Amino acid sequence: MSPPGCPGLVSPRCLAAAAPAGTRLTHPGKAILAGGLAGGIEICITFPTEYVKTQLQLDERANPPRYRGIMDCVRQTVQGHGVKGLYRGLSSLLYGSIPKAAVRFGMFEFLSNQVRDGQGRLSNTQSVLCGLGAGVFEAVVVVCPMETVKVKFIHDQSSAKPRYRGFFHGVREIIRDQGLRGTYQGLTATVLKQGSNQAIRFFVMTSLKNWYKGDNAGKQIHPLITGLFGATAGAASVFGNTPLDVIKTRMQGLEAHKYKSTWDCAYKIMKYEGPIAFYKGTVPRLGRVCLDVAIVFIIYEEVVKLLNKVWKTD
């Protein structure tokens, strides 16, 4: 039965009122604030690995290939542009990471608050569906346009004569040349990637948290344990959808015109480069994503705890 003034399980306030003492549902507003802060801090720490991953994926088979591996990519970048070269394109990703994480956690908490049981728990199936919904929403609203700009910017900066002078100049040039549609290249691949990404991550994270808490839904989780769970969730998502990440990167690069569609891109990669090409950049991505997800979840959970003390929504 719904609490007084709550005709159904619609708002976080009503849901919190229905939950037993000792449990707390996260208000979407807190999730947006905590998620944005976590996303901004995380990307500043892990961007060099994102840069290397993108360079390796864009380094299609050539005669000969430009890079011989991860360390060679780092070496050439530092020799040519200094250590700061590993941070080229950071601004475009930073501008996207903050709203991306904010939208992702905000939508996840909004959706999950509608379906949690009386103890505030999510089932495995519910966590997959809520994660999928959050991933699809962030893909359409934030990820696709921001990732397209990021990939084009990094690709441009690695060329002999870079065209874009900065993030906003790059956005202006892309829209002038290709219209708004130019920032939505690879939308299908991005939706598939982000949807599966967050479905896997929130499923693993929720399953591990439920296992750790056992019958005590109010049990606190140490930040290091949260980080370990987050790294596990990140690793699972890497092995689950790296092929989609490769396709998305190709579709958003400066040579995206070579592909008629997402499916044509996948077909040509398989035909001309073989199945192993779908896992190009897996090692640098694995290291980045595990650290990424661990950091994000630690910061997110700790900021939410702080907000619960100063922002009363129950």
pLDDT tens profile 272-305: 888 888 887 788 778 778 988 999 999 999 999 9
- pLDDT band per the 50, 70, 90 thresholds, residue 25: confident
For residue range 57-82, what is the model confidence (pLDDT) as tens digits? 777 655 677 888 889 999 999 998 89
- Burial string for 58-78 (b: 16+ CB within 10 Å, else e) reads bbbeeeeeebeebeebbebbe
- pLDDT band per the 50, 70, 90 thresholds, residue 314: low
* Token couple for 14: 């009503």
* Token couple for 13: 């306030």
Is the bond preceding residue 162 a cis peptide, omega within 30 degrees?
Answer: no
Question: 241 with 198: CB under 8 angstroms?
Answer: no
Between residues 159 and 137, which one has the greater pLDDT? 137
Neighbours of 122 (CB within 10 A): 24
Neighbours of 128 (CB within 10 A): 20
What is the pLDDT, as a whole number, of residue 1? 47
* Token couple for 259: 């592909």
Cα dist from 212 to 38, 116, 120, 206, 217, whole Å = 23, 18, 15, 10, 10
The torsion defined by the Cα of 172, 178, 184 and 185, in degrees rounded to 10, comes to -130
Residue 226 has pLDDT above 70, yes or no: yes
Residue 10 has pLDDT above 70, yes or no: no
Between residues 8 and 150, which one has the greater pLDDT? 150
User: Which DSSP letter does residue 23 get?
Assistant: -
What SS3 state is found at 120? coil
* Token couple for 246: 């490769």
Rg (Cα) of the chain, in Å, rounded? 21
Average pLDDT for 12-25: 50
Question: 293 with 227: CB under 8 angstroms?
Answer: no
What is the pLDDT, as a whole number, of residue 19? 44
Q: Using CA of residue 265, residue 266, residue 271, residue 273, what is the dihedral sign?
A: positive
Which long-range CB contacts under 8 A does 90-94 form with residues at least 24 apart?
90/43, 90/44, 90/47, 91/166, 91/167, 92/146, 92/149, 92/150, 92/153, 92/167, 92/170, 93/43, 93/47, 93/50, 93/146, 93/150, 94/40, 94/43, 94/44
Average pLDDT for 133-149: 89
The torsion defined by the Cα of 11, 14, 19 and 22, in degrees rounded to 10, comes to 90
What is the pLDDT, as a whole number, of residue 14? 52
For residue range 145-157, what is the model confidence (pLDDT) as tens digits? 887 777 787 778 7
What is the pLDDT, as a whole number, of residue 312? 80
What is the pLDDT, as a whole number, of residue 60? 61
* Token couple for 131: 């994660």
